[in-house]
A and B are shown apart, each in its own frame.
Chain A
Amino acid sequence: MDLENRKNGKRLVFSEDSFQRIIQILDEFLNRSQARLAIFADLNGYPVVYRGEADTMDISSLTALAAGDFAATAEMANLISEESHFRFLYHEGVSRCSYLCSVGNEYFILIVFEKKVALGVIRVLAHYAVEKILQLIQTLKKQSEETKKFLDFEFRDILTQRLDESIRAR
C-alpha cells in the first residue's frame, strides 16, 4: 500500500464478485495440486479468503504467524542486501509442509500440503494462482472502507454490551 493511500485509510475493497473469483482460483489450485489448505491473506495478518481443510485448523493464528514469518524474513532479506522481502518461504515437516508466496506487496498465499506432494508441483501451480490473483487485484480500486455502513450506532452499543456480558460471565 502506498503511503498516501495508507494515510487516507484507503485499501483494496474486494467486491463479492472478486471474492468469488479468488475462491474459484484457490479451489482450482487445491484440486490440481492436492494441497490441503490455501489461505489468501494480507500482510497485516488478516485472512481474506481460505479454502480446503479450514475447519480443522486455526486460520486466524496461522495467518498471523505467516504474516510474522514474512516480516521476520524481510529483515533477513535486508541484511543480505536483498531489496524487498523474500517472495517464497518453504517449511518442511515430517508429514506436512507449508509454502508461502507473496502476492504483490500487500498480500500472500499460505499453502499447507502433504509431504508426498512434490514441492515443484506446488510451486508451479501456486505461481499460476498468484498471477491470476494479481491480474484481478489490478482491476480493483483502492477506496476508504465504508465502515459506517458496517458499524452503525446500534451495532456499536450491542458490541460493548456483549463484551461486558462475556467479561462478567468469566
Chain B
Amino acid sequence: MHIDWLRQEIIFKIIYYGPGLGGKTTNLEYIHAHLDPKLRSKLISLKTRDERTLYFDFLELSIGRIKGKKPRFHLYTIPGQQYYHMSRKIVLRGADAIVFVVDSQKARRVENLAALMDLETKLIQQQKTLAELPWVLQYNKRDLTDIESVAALQGKLNFLSVPHYEAVASQGVGVFETLRGVVQLLVQKV
C-alpha cells in the first residue's frame, strides 16, 4: 500500500497467485474487457511466444475520488510455472492482498497444493504469513467435467476458512465477485 498525501491517493497491490494455466491472466483479461475504460488502465502482459505469462500481467483500477481521496488498485498476476519462482518472489513484494486461483480439475490437485505452499514459503521469507494477509480462494474452471467437488477443495486448501468463490473465468463467471470479495476484505483489514 502506498499513500500519496500530496495527491491524496492510496494505492493497493493485489496479486493473483496460483498454479500455471489456472486462469489468473484470464481473470485480468475479463476485468479489462468488461470494465469501463475510464476506470482502468491498459492491460500490460509480459508473455512468452507461446502466450504463457513470463513475468507478470498488470492492470490498474481507479474508481474516482471519494471524499477528496483517490483509491487505486494495482492488480498483478504471477507466472505459475515452477521455474519462474524468482519472478513470483519479486512480484509478491509489498502485496496487500491475494487472490489464489485454483484449477478445479482433479489432475491439477498436486499443482494447486504446491502453488499454495510456494505462496506461503515466499510470504514467510518476507516476514508475512497467510494468516495475517487478506486473501481469498477462487475455484476456477467449474464448467469442466473431471473436477473436484468444492467440499473437497475446501478441505484441502481452505485451512484458514477464507472467503471462496466458484468461477469460470473464461466466461466471466465469478470474476467480479472474487475481485469485490478481495477488495472488501482488504479495506476492512487496513
Residues B5 and A19 in contact, CB atoms below 8 Å apart: yes
Interface residues of A (CB under 8 A from B): 3, 6-7, 14-16, 19, 42-46, 48-49, 58, 60-61, 64-65, 68, 71-72, 74-75, 145, 147, 150-151, 154-156, 158-160, 162-164, 166-167, 169-170
A19–B74 Cα gap in the complex (Å)? 22
Residues A160 and B187 in contact, CB atoms below 8 Å apart: yes
Residues B44 and A64 in contact, CB atoms below 8 Å apart: yes
Residues B6 and A19 in contact, CB atoms below 8 Å apart: yes
Residues B44 and A44 in contact, CB atoms below 8 Å apart: no
6 interchain residue pairs of minimum CB distance: A44-B94, A46-B2, A71-B90, A7-B127, A167-B176, A60-B60
- B70 to chain A minimum Cβ distance, whole angstroms, is 11
Q: How many A-B residue pairs have CB under 8 A?
A: 110
Residues B56 and A160 in contact, CB atoms below 8 Å apart: no
Interface residues of B (CB under 8 A from A): 1-6, 10-11, 13, 34-36, 39, 41-42, 44, 46, 55-56, 58, 60, 63-64, 66-67, 69, 71-72, 74, 76, 86-87, 90-91, 93-94, 126-127, 176, 179-180, 183-184, 187-188, 190
Residues B180 and A64 in contact, CB atoms below 8 Å apart: no
- B20 to chain A minimum Cβ distance, whole angstroms, is 19
* Most chain A beta carbons < 10 A, residue from B3, B55, B93, B176: B3
- B67 to chain A minimum Cβ distance, whole angstroms, is 6
B33 nearest in chain A by CB position: A170
